[in-house]
Amino acid sequence: MKAVEGLEHEQLKNWIYERAKHLKPSALHVCTGTAEESDALLEGLCAKGQAIRIPKRPGCFLFRSDPRDVARVESKTFVCSQTAQVAGVNNRWGDPDAFKACLERWFDGAMQGRTLYVVPFCMGPIGSPYSRIGVQLTDSPYVVCSMRIMTRMGSSVLEALGTQGSYVACLHSVGMPLAPGQKDSTWPCNPDKVCIAHFPEANLIYSFGSGYGGNALLGKKCLGLRMASIMGKQEGWLAEHMLLMGVKDPQGQKSYIAAAFPSACGKTNLAMLQPPEGMKDWTVTTLGDDIAWIHPGKDGRLYAINPETGFFGVAPGTGPETNPNALMSCARNSLFTNVALTDDGDVWWEGLSEPPAHLTDWQGCHWTPGCGRPATHPNARFTAPILQCPSRDPDWEKPVPLDAIVFGARRSTDVPLVLESLNWVHGVQLGANLCSEQTAAADGTVGQLRKDPMAMLPFCGYAMEDYIQHWQAIGKTLAHPPKIFQVNFFRKGAYNDFLWPGFGQNLRVLAWIFQRVHGKVPAQQTPEGLLPFYADFPLKGLEYSQERWDALQRLGE
């Protein structure tokens, strides 16, 4: 227990002592957040066969998860508020006392044979009034190294916490204690006993059994969205599943846009978009790709920050054509999970390049093109620091004023490329009615259409009807609300082909949004919303017929 003796925050120190007694780890380590610390942990993981160094990418490592632990497990994620009504039908509710009692039993001795890492982390810049601190206890060094990329993590956060600061207590175990002499697995986890439980009244998160992504990096979906959405409701702000980006027109005028899309629907690609031919005089900058915390400002506008410091991006489909900025972001100092390994010591995934003649797939097996299975898991990820992103906005750590909010989803039918809401109330309604075809980012049936209000169905920590009402209430306080738009980059035509080219060409949609925000183009008023005229839409440099446009923009079937 020596490791915690120096802690000045008595209550935190006591919590760690008490937890350590219960978890029974063989060692305890308070994370400093330095590069040396992370290097040593990664070195140790390689020595145990739990990570593989990628010779072609300095500071990069590959992890292969247990095939049963590959995505967020929504069916095992709970909000344990005092009453079920508070959690709403959108959440799986758990009685707080019963869940705590059960999880306490699971956590008893759960870290035997492992090290308990104390991970102090800050969502948002340290010292900002918009930021929130968490302290995660975990027995996964992979989680520690990932948290160091994704959040501000380590001693500076403990300093900011001081002697009395408040924090969200996050307890995580992979749920696989080791008996003396027992050989560890390459990805310890306990898929039969997974539970991710949020206790909003106690400022507490418990996560057991999974080491993957949003189940285990508790700053992200658990604190950054579920708990933060509850804080936002209480304190008058919004925590959203949104990318944050800047768009500058050829005249140098700049707007910030926040856009909500369900998981694995292209937020990272859009946030890092490279202007296509014909639009090279536009500039796109990246502030974040997954979460925006949005506050009303004194001037009646909305201001947003990205509380994270890295990208936990879906690897398959990320290539030099679709997202060169993401590739540069993960060229070094990055972690890869469930991607393939080339024979010459690089990572590979579908969509990166032509497949090599031979690979080691995400499960460590031989793979050749045409063998009948993908080399990477569809939810394989790269974890990369935002500081390495070439399109990073110079103001990415500051709150930025929003000119537009975009709601998007994956819809093969019915929904047009872009539509502007008539006003805030209508825009919120559009967001509330968002439906999307499910992806591999979570358990469930890929392709199935589900309602996903504001792309927050898996992440809103309280009742959806109260959340929508909160959005409407916030709107009432804004003298200068951002305009709200709905987009769909995934509509298909008669031959099951995508009607819109997507990726870099999506800048055309953003440019139209930009022009609408600045009153530069008219729109066609319909009862459903405001639609672009073909003649005004920025299509220069792209051959796109009026006929195809009409099919793309048609409202409904």
263 touching Mn ion, by CB under 5 A: yes
The separation between CA 251 and the C-alpha centre of its own chain, rounded to angstroms, equals 32
**Given the rule CB under 5 A, which of 179-187, 287-295, 392-400, 526-534 is the region that contacts Mn ion?**
287-295
Beta bridge partners of 256: 246, 402
378 touching ligand OXD, by CB under 6 A: no
- When the beta carbons of 213 and 453 are compared against ligand OXD, the nearer one is 213
The question of whether 265 is a catalytic residue gets the answer yes
- When the beta carbons of 288 and 532 are compared against ligand OXD, the nearer one is 288
For ligand OXD, the binding residue among 214, 385, 399, 481 (CB under 6 A) is 214
304 touching ligand OXD, by CB under 6 A: no
213 touching ligand OXD, by CB under 6 A: yes
Q: Name residues contacting Mn ion, limited to 290-329 (CB under 5 A).
A: 290
Of these partners, ligand OXD, Mn ion, none, which one is at the site of residue 538 (CB under 5 to 8 Å by kind)? none
- When the beta carbons of 144 and 441 are compared against ligand OXD, the nearer one is 441
Cβ burial 383-419 (10 Å sphere, 16+ → b, else e): bbbbebbebbbeebbebbebbbbbbbbbbbeebbbbb
- When the beta carbons of 107 and 312 are compared against ligand OXD, the nearer one is 312
d(CA 461, CA 451): 16
Beta bridge partners of 257: 245, 404
At 145, list the tokens. 């190294």
Min dist CB 441 to ligand OXD, Å, is 4
Of these partners, ligand OXD, Mn ion, none, which one is at the site of residue 287 (CB under 5 to 8 Å by kind)? none
72 touching ligand OXD, by CB under 6 A: yes
312 touching ligand OXD, by CB under 6 A: yes
- When the beta carbons of 263 and 306 are compared against ligand OXD, the nearer one is 263
Biggest CA-to-CA distance, the chain = 73
Min dist CB 217 to ligand OXD, Å, is 9
Q: Do residues 338 and 65 make contact, with C-beta atoms less than 8 angstroms apart?
A: yes
One symbol per residue from 39 to 78: x for binding Mn ion (CB under 5 A), - otherwise; what is it?
----------------------------------------
Q: What is the DSSP string of 300-368?
A: SSEEEE---SEEEEE-TT--TTT-HHHHHHTSSS-EEES-EEETTS-EE-TTTSSPPS-EE-TTS-EE-
Beta bridge partners of 405: 258, 484
Beta bridge partners of 134: 121, 168
Of these partners, Mn ion, ligand OXD, none, which one is at the site of residue 72 (CB under 5 to 8 Å by kind)? ligand OXD
Q: What is the DSSP string of 453-468?
A: GGG-TTT--S-HHHHH
Kindly list the distances between the CA atom of residue 387 and the CA atoms of 8, 246, 265, 463, 527, in Å, as whole numbers in the listed order.
31, 16, 23, 36, 44
Of these partners, ligand OXD, Mn ion, none, which one is at the site of residue 173 (CB under 5 to 8 Å by kind)? none
76 touching ligand OXD, by CB under 6 A: no
- When the beta carbons of 218 and 375 are compared against Mn ion, the nearer one is 218
For ligand OXD, the binding residue among 203, 263, 285, 306 (CB under 6 A) is 263
37 touching Mn ion, by CB under 5 A: no
Min dist CB 203 to ligand OXD, Å, is 23
Beta strand extents in 181-275 (DSSP E only): 195-199, 204-208, 238-240, 242-248, 254-260
CA atoms within 13 A on the CB side of 343: 8
Of these partners, Mn ion, ligand OXD, none, which one is at the site of residue 437 (CB under 5 to 8 Å by kind)? none
Residue type, 284: V
Kindly list the distances between the CA atom of residue 458 and the CA atoms of 74, 75, 147, 461, in Å, as whole numbers in the listed order.
7, 10, 21, 8
- Measured from the Cβ of residue 303, the count of other Cβ atoms closer than 10 Å reads 19
Q: Name residues contacting ligand OXD, limited to 408-447 (CB under 6 A).
A: 441
318 touching ligand OXD, by CB under 6 A: no
279, burial (CB in 10 Å: exposed 0-12, middle 13-18, buried 19+): buried
- When the beta carbons of 199 and 312 are compared against ligand OXD, the nearer one is 312
Q: 195, 265, 330, 389: which one is catalytic?
A: 265
- When the beta carbons of 380 and 418 are compared against ligand OXD, the nearer one is 380
DSSP 72: B
Q: Do residues 208 and 107 make contact, with C-beta atoms less than 8 angstroms apart?
A: yes
Catalytic positions are 265
Q: Which residues of this chain interact with Mn ion, rule CB under 5 A?
A: 263, 290
Q: Which residues of this chain interact with ligand OXD, rule CB under 6 A?
A: 72, 213-214, 263, 290, 312, 441
